[in-house]
A and B are shown apart, each in its own frame.
Chain A
Amino acid sequence: MTKITFIQPDGESQTVEAENGLTVMEAAKLNDIAGIEAECGGACACATCHVYVDEAWRDKTGKAADMEEDMLDFAFDVREGSRLCCQIKITDALDGLVVRVPAKQF
């Protein structure tokens, strides 16, 4: 199991354990993490699972692919480290991953 920490805009943090192979979005939904809507169910088609990957983890999660980058155009307040978490697959390398939930999804 891999540990992932979600930090809410008010600073509240929740650490969940998730199986490798799931996406960070799926881990969030399975654990009822507030602020991750994932309206399209993980198809990279809606930009409502937007998160900010903590700076220390950006090398490990990698950058958004072209399609994801296009979809990020539909997200609000996109920053350095912005990702759609349905596109981040959980592996051992991400054990301890920290992501921040934005104040608003669209």
Chain B
Amino acid sequence: MIETTPAALEVSDISEASETSGPIETDAVVIGAGPCGLFAVFELGLLDIKAHVIDILDRPGGQCAELYPEKPIYDVPALPVVTGQELTDRLMEQIKPFGPQFHFSERIDGLVREADGRFRLTTDAGTEFLAKVVVVAAGGGSFTPKRPPLNGIEEYEGKSVFYSVRKIESMRGHDIVIVGGGDSALDWTLNLAPVAKSLTLIHRRDEFRAAPHSVEKMRKLVEEATVRLMIGQVTGLEGANGQLTAVDVKTASGTERIACSAMLPFFGLTMKLGPVANWGLNLHENLVPVDTERFETSEHGIFAIGDINTYPGKLKLILSGFHEGALMAQAAHKIVYPDKKLLFQYTTSSSSLQKKLGVK
């Protein structure tokens, strides 16, 4: 599993600057840059529907990039075997002619309909869109940091338990506990050691998945006694009113209590439905029901394709999501171009489609 690296977190810092300009006006907003979201850009593009694509990850591919970039997939038509990363790369190449605009490391939080029928979408970084149609291709939901199942942890989140750090300065003078053994845990150990009052890195074993040079640097800090390394697992939290005062750590020799004022757990990412639940769409067991002609949700103009939708006979397959995207685009065309008659065309023979694809 690839973790959100500190570098990736900083990207969203920069995108906050876009808050000052007005909303981005576009035909379609595609939520999710997984295979279905990417292919939707292709199908929309063939019908002259321009799209902006938003994804919470810092790169395209969705689950293909995050969960199984190197795993072979065997059921994509005409590709007997393809890895998640290759499939993503090929889709990116395929949609290039349509010039989609990507907004990575952002999550759509707000979605409301305006008086003129368009949708106003707002990201967690403050970017705003006005779109004629919305395509929810959010897969299993948004990737969010895993919350360690420690009693009462919710109370501390955002106050003294953090899953990401926006500003290194905010951690100055703290007794910090970092938990984990991947790149995020190690990078933040190296970044925060200079500002922390004390820093303890806790990992369940004395082996680290992180980049070897980071591990080497961390070992050096441990040698210099700048960082304390503990091999163990956090089993409990101590504190009040959201302020952590200590964590209990189970080690080979028993349980030890470590005083601290901030904890950063890095246990990778998991998928949560997230804000989709707040957009007024009908939901069924955390999935969005759609019809199988238009793949439209309970809200006219909002479509849902791929793993996030449900209908009788639904299969969570990439190939099904591609089909859903093609039909969705036909329905979206009626909304984006209400007065235009849509002529069904093939890419093999239509010179106008080939022109759009940049091959004629």
Residues of A within 8 A of B (CB): 39-40, 43, 45-48, 69-74, 76-78, 104, 106
Contacts A45-B1, A106-B267 hold; do A74 and B146 have CB atoms under 8 A apart? yes
The distance in angstroms between the C-alpha atoms of A48 and B140, with both chains bound, is 15
Closest to A102 in B: B149
Name the distance in Å between A72's Cβ and chain B's nearest Cβ.
Answer: 8
The distance in angstroms between the C-alpha atoms of A55 and B233, with both chains bound, is 21
Contacts A39-B271, A106-B267, A106-B270 hold; do A73 and B181 have CB atoms under 8 A apart? yes
Tell me which residues across on chain B come within 8 A of A71, comparing CB atoms. Answer: 1
The distance in angstroms between the C-alpha atoms of A47 and B269, with both chains bound, is 11
B67 touches A45 (CB 8 A): yes
Question: Can you list 12 pairs linking A and B with CB atoms under 8 Å apart?
Answer: A40-B67, A45-B67, A48-B270, A73-B181, A73-B209, A74-B1, A74-B268, A77-B235, A78-B204, A78-B233, A106-B147, A106-B267
Closest 6 CB pairs of A and B: A104-B149, A45-B67, A74-B268, A70-B209, A106-B146, A43-B68
Tell me which residues across on chain A come within 8 A of B235, comparing CB atoms. Answer: 77
| Interface mask (B177-188 → A, CB under 8 Å = 1, otherwise 0) | 000111000000
**Interface check B173, CB cutoff 8 A:** no
Contacts A46-B1, A106-B148 hold; do A73 and B180 have CB atoms under 8 A apart? yes
Tell me which residues across on chain B come within 8 A of A72, comparing CB atoms. Answer: 204
**Interface check B355, CB cutoff 8 A:** no
The distance in angstroms between the C-alpha atoms of A76 and B150, with both chains bound, is 9
Tell me which residues across on chain A come within 8 A of B270, comparing CB atoms. Answer: 39, 46, 48, 106
Q: What secondary structure prevails in chain A residues at the interface with B? A: loop
**Interface check B107, CB cutoff 8 A:** no
A73 touches B203 (CB 8 A): yes
Name the distance in Å between B19's Cβ and chain A's nearest Cβ.
Answer: 33
Closest to A73 in B: B181
A76 touches B148 (CB 8 A): yes
Name the distance in Å between A52's Cβ and chain B's nearest Cβ.
Answer: 14
A76 touches B149 (CB 8 A): yes
**Interface check B96, CB cutoff 8 A:** no
The distance in angstroms between the C-alpha atoms of A40 and B268, with both chains bound, is 13
Find the residue from B1, B146, B147 having the highest chain A CB count within 10 A.
B1
B67 touches A43 (CB 8 A): yes
Closest to A45 in B: B67
**Interface check B71, CB cutoff 8 A:** yes
Closest to A77 in B: B233
The distance in angstroms between the C-alpha atoms of A59 and B1, with both chains bound, is 28
Tell me which residues across on chain B come within 8 A of A104, comparing CB atoms. Answer: 149
- Contacting B182 at CB < 8 Å: which of A39, A73, A77, A78? A73
The distance in angstroms between the C-alpha atoms of A78 and B148, with both chains bound, is 12
Name the distance in Å between A36's Cβ and chain B's nearest Cβ.
Answer: 15
Tell me which residues across on chain B come within 8 A of A74, comparing CB atoms. Answer: 1, 146, 267-268
| Interface mask (B146-185 → A, CB under 8 Å = 1, otherwise 0) | 1111000000000000000000000000000000111000
The distance in angstroms between the C-alpha atoms of A39 and B143, with both chains bound, is 12
Name the distance in Å between B290's Cβ and chain A's nearest Cβ.
Answer: 22
- Contacting B149 at CB < 8 Å: which of A40, A47, A106? A106
Name the distance in Å between B264's Cβ and chain A's nearest Cβ.
Answer: 15
Closest to B66 in A: A45
Tell me which residues across on chain B come within 8 A of A73, comparing CB atoms. Answer: 180-182, 203-205, 209, 267
Tell me which residues across on chain A come within 8 A of B268, comparing CB atoms. Answer: 47, 74
Tell me which residues across on chain B come within 8 A of A77, comparing CB atoms. Answer: 233, 235
Find the residue from A43, A48, A74, A104 having the highest chain B CB count within 10 A.
A74
The distance in angstroms between the C-alpha atoms of A40 and B71, with both chains bound, is 12
Name the distance in Å between B284's Cβ and chain A's nearest Cβ.
Answer: 19
Closest to B250 in A: A77
| Interface mask (B42-79 → A, CB under 8 Å = 1, otherwise 0) | 00000000000000000000000001100100000000
Tell me which residues across on chain B come within 8 A of A45, comparing CB atoms. Answer: 1, 67-68, 71
Name the distance in Å between B319's Cβ and chain A's nearest Cβ.
Answer: 16
The distance in angstroms between the C-alpha atoms of A77 and B181, with both chains bound, is 15
